[in-house]
Structures are given as C-alpha cells and as structure tokens.
C-alpha cells in the first residue's frame, strides 16, 4: 500500500513540472534548382510575431509561455541562406534587391487537462521581395492539431512544430513565383 502511495505521489509531482526549455531548429529540404543562379540579393529574417513566445501551455485557468531556447531567427537565417546559396544565389548584404522573410506566426498552443492534452501548432511565414521593378509579397502557412493522453511531452511538441515549420519553409523555398519575380 505504501508503495502505491509513493508511486502516486511521484506521478502527481512529475506531472506538475513546467518545461523550462523549448528548442526549435527546422531544416530546409528544397529540391536542387538553378532558378536563382546569378541572382544577387540581400536576405534577412525577421520575427514579427504579435506574441513573442513559441510555446503556450494553459492549465486550470492559468497559462505560461516559453520562447525558444535557441536563437530561432538566426537559425532560420542560416538555414535559408544555405539553401538559397545551394540553389545558385549570391547573397550580398549591400545589394539593392532584398528578400525578407518574416515570421508572422510560429507557436504551439497546449491545453493541458487532467487526463489529456490538445496541441495546436500554427506557422505563417511571409516572403517580401523588393527590386527596382517593384515589390512582391506572399504568405505561406500551415497548422496542425494533436490530442494525447495525460501530460504533453515537450519533445513531441517540439518535433511536431519543427515538422510543420519545415513544411511551410519548404513551401516558401520551392515556390517559383517569388524567385521569378526576383530574376525579372
């Protein structure tokens, strides 16, 4: 009987801890292309989210938020730069042609209940291209929902949000419309 009581206390106490770290490191998997060969432009990634957190957990009428533990903007900047360079682009911070990728939304919203949890992931990225010919804007977005038993697993939430971010990022990188505008 004591064993069951101790086990129950351990389970309850382990369920009450809030995560302190949330890491998001999406990768890009753009198909090889030479559409950007001989294109020269500056690249910048900006975080324009209205809410600066990446994870929000709501439980018993209370909520807490976490930002990513890693530098998400720098990671996306490096990932996108590497992918575009592999596609033949020449990145030059002094170029008059500009490609700006804005993080409009990137978050995991968790509703934690006693016996289950629901996670809603939302990602929206906007590409803004400015050249002497004008300006081009397009937003790429995606969302996803999952439900699971008991307490959420932070690693699973990180993975699901990373995969959704990769999906949206790859849509952006594989879309020829902004690349063709840049070349025109």
In a domain, 154, yes or no: yes
Whole-angstrom Cα distance, residue 156 to residue 147?
11
Please provide the average confidence, as pLDDT, over all residues in the chain: 90
In a domain, 96, yes or no: yes
How does pLDDT run across 69-102, given as a tens digit for each residue? 999 999 999 999 999 999 889 999 999 999 999 9
Whole-angstrom Cα distance, residue 167 to residue 170?
5
In a domain, 32, yes or no: no
* pLDDT level of residue 113 (50, 70, 90 thresholds): very high
pTM: 0.87
Lowest mean pLDDT among 13-27, 41-55, 90-104: 13-27
In a domain, 80, yes or no: yes
In a domain, 10, yes or no: no
In a domain, 12, yes or no: no
Which pLDDT belongs to residue 10? 44
Whole-angstrom Cα distance, residue 77 to residue 58?
31
User: For residue 98, what are the CA distances in angstroms to 42, 73, 104, 128, 177?
Assistant: 5, 17, 18, 8, 15
Number of structural domains found in the chain? 1
What's the CATH code of the domain at 97?
3.40.50.10610
In a domain, 23, yes or no: no
Q: Which residues contact 168 (CB under 8 A, 6 or more apart)?
A: 123, 124, 125, 140, 141, 142
In a domain, 83, yes or no: yes
The domain in which residue 143 lies consists of 39-183
Which pLDDT belongs to residue 52? 86
């Amino acid at each position: 009987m004591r064993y069951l009581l101790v086990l129950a206390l351990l389970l309850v106490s382990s369920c009450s801890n809030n995560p302190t770290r949330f890491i998001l490191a999406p990768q890009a998997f753009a198909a090889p292309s030479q559409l950007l060969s001989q294109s020269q432009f500056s690249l910048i990634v900006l975080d324009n989210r209205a809410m600066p957190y990446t994870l929000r957990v709501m439980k018993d009428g209370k909520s807490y938020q976490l930002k990513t533990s890693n530098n998400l903007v720098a990671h996306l900047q490096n990932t996108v730069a590497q992918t575009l360079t592999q596609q033949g682009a020449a990145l030059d911070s002094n170029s008059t042609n500009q490609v700006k990728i804005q993080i409009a939304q990137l978050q995991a919203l968790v509703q934690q209940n006693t016996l289950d949890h629901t996670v809603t992931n939302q990602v929206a990225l906007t590409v803004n291209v400015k050249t002497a010919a004008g300006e081009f804007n397009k937003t790429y977005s995606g969302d996803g929902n999952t439900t699971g038993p008991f307490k959420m697993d932070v690693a699973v939430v990180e993975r699901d949000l990373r995969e959704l971010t990769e999906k949206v990022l790859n849509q952006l990188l594989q879309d020829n419309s902004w690349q063709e505008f840049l070349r025109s």
